[in-house]
């Protein structure tokens, strides 16, 4: 595999507004310099990130790009994303196309129309409206999310759309972006790793924090000293001080440093539990062995 020259981490958001507060992008190059935030005038929108990634692809930038979201729903446990629905897709790329089709009129690349669809909504837990096919307890999980739990992380079901830690809305909006990026940027493991140009992977920012030494029970990095301490664990120099420290910015910065640190670990590109079927339907979180 040809080495990457750029390492980009994106903290994503499913907020249905033009410029979600949770969007943050950090970029690192080869070497020890700390990642820096990429902040366009006026801030990021999902469409803005989509356009920026397309530009990276057009330029042939050899970038490893991690996004903090789930690119697919559980499939292996029930043999389908949406059991009982005749339009339930057979693989992740068809899922992205379905989410895009149903949500095509939603502004800001949101996906409210999808979770309001009479068949889809049966599988989601929404505020004051739990679908009849959302199982008791915490909901359904992908195979890799069981692997996350084994690493003492705390994954949430993508079908849960309630609470501050839910990832379902982010995942759905991300699927619209991935559908539009198809043919421009491959996404591992749904696509093979290319020899040239950029590559998308799923990341879990809490994994980077845990691997850097942040103890379980502490999930937010909101000061300069803690961020520099964790960056050092990945061989990074101290960061340039930020105007404001919030967990979106610090998650992106630390995750970009971790991607640079982890990219050449060959075992992370061939997880033992990831079958070809899982790679096609559920995907995998980079870094979960």
pLDDT at residue 220, as a whole number? 79
Burial group, residue 272, by CB count within 10 angstroms (0-12, 13-18, 19+): exposed
**How many Å separate Cα 95 from the centre of its chain?**
16
pLDDT at residue 215, as a whole number? 77
- Using DSSP's 3-state secondary structure scheme, residue 195 falls into coil
pLDDT at residue 286, as a whole number? 98
Give this prediction's pTM.
0.96
Peptide bond into 90 cis (omega under 30): no
pLDDT at residue 217, as a whole number? 63
Residue 274 to residue 143: CA distance in whole angstroms: 8
pLDDT (tens, 9 = 90+) of the chain, 289 residues, equals 899 999 999 999 999 899 998 999 999 999 999 999 999 999 999 999 999 999 999 999 999 999 999 999 999 999 999 999 999 999 999 999 999 999 999 999 999 999 999 999 999 999 989 999 999 999 999 999 999 999 999 999 999 999 878 899 999 999 999 999 999 999 999 999 999 999 999 999 999 999 999 877 666 788 999 999 999 999 999 999 999 999 999 999 999 999 999 999 999 999 999 999 999 999 999 999 9
pLDDT at residue 1, as a whole number? 82
pLDDT at residue 69, as a whole number? 96
Cβ(45)–Cβ(173) below 8 Å: no
pLDDT at residue 219, as a whole number? 65
pLDDT at residue 214, as a whole number? 87
pLDDT at residue 129, as a whole number? 92
199: which strand partners? Answer: 64
């Amino acid at each position: 595999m040809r080495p990457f020259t750029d390492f980009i981490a994106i903290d994503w958001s499913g907020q249905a507004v033009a410029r979600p507060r949770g969007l943050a992008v950090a970029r690192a190059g080869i070497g020890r310099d700390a990642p820096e935030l990429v902040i366009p005038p006026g801030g990021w929108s999902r469409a803005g990130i989509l356009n920026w990634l397309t530009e990276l692809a057009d330029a042939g930038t050899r970038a490893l790009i991690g996004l903090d979201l789930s690119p697919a729903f559980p499939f292996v446990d029930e043999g389908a994303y949406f059991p009982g629905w005749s339009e339930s897709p057979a693989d992740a790329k068809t899922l992205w196309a379905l989410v895009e089709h149903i949500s095509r009129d939603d502004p800001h690349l949101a996906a409210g129309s999808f979770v309001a669809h009479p068949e889809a909504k049966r599988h989601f837990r929404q505020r004051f409206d739990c679908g009849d096919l959302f199982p008791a307890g915490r909901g359904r999980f992908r195979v890799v999310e069981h692997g996350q739990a084994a690493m003492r992380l705390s994954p949430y079901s993508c079908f849960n759309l309630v609470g501050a830690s839910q990832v379902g809305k982010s995942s759905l909006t991300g699927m619209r972006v991935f559908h539009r990026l198809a043919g421009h940027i491959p996404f591992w493991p749904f696509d093979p790793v290319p020899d040239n140009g950029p590559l998308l992977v799923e990341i879990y920012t809490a994994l980077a924090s845990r691997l850097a030494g942040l103890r379980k029970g502490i999930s937010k990095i909101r000061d300069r000293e803690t961020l520099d301490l964790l960056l050092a664990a990945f061989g990074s120099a101290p960061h340039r001080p930020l105007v404001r420290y919030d967990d979106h910015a610090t998650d992106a910065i630390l995750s970009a440093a971790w991607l640079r640190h982890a990219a050449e670990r060959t075992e992370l590109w061939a997880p033992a539990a990831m079958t070809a079927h899982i790679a096609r339907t559920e995907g995998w979180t980079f870094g979960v062995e």
